[in-house]
Amino acid sequence: PINAVRKDAALRIIGKHCPTFMLFCGGPDQWAPHFHIEDLESIWRQGKIPSNISTAYYENLVHDFIVHPEMVQPVVKFCITSILSSRQEVISRL
């Protein structure tokens, strides 16, 4: 589908410049349905997007997590872990 082609191209461009981490929420999520992560994982496995593009899925997380105090910590942890894991790649580009 044309949307997948655009997604491939955009992620290849982004991947040339920086590692990218995408966190997907459990469902049903009207803004990012589960098939989006499945599409991304499929094109990643096919080698169509760089290996520094990665995804995570938290089934118990909802899109408006910020108003649910118990959900904030897992998101913060994801962000910090993602940043720290990409540190060496970013330093090597400097």
Cβ proximity of 34 and 24 under 8 Å: yes
Helix, strand, coil percentages, rounded to 5, for the chain: 60, 15, 30
* pLDDT (0 to 100) of residue 8: 83
Q: Which pTM does this prediction carry?
A: 0.74
For residue 71, CA distances in Å to 17, 75, 80 come to: 30, 7, 15
* pLDDT (0 to 100) of residue 2: 46
- How large is the average pLDDT for residues 42-64? 87
pLDDT at 19 exceeding the cut of 70: yes
* Strands 53-58 and 20-25, bridge-based pairing: parallel
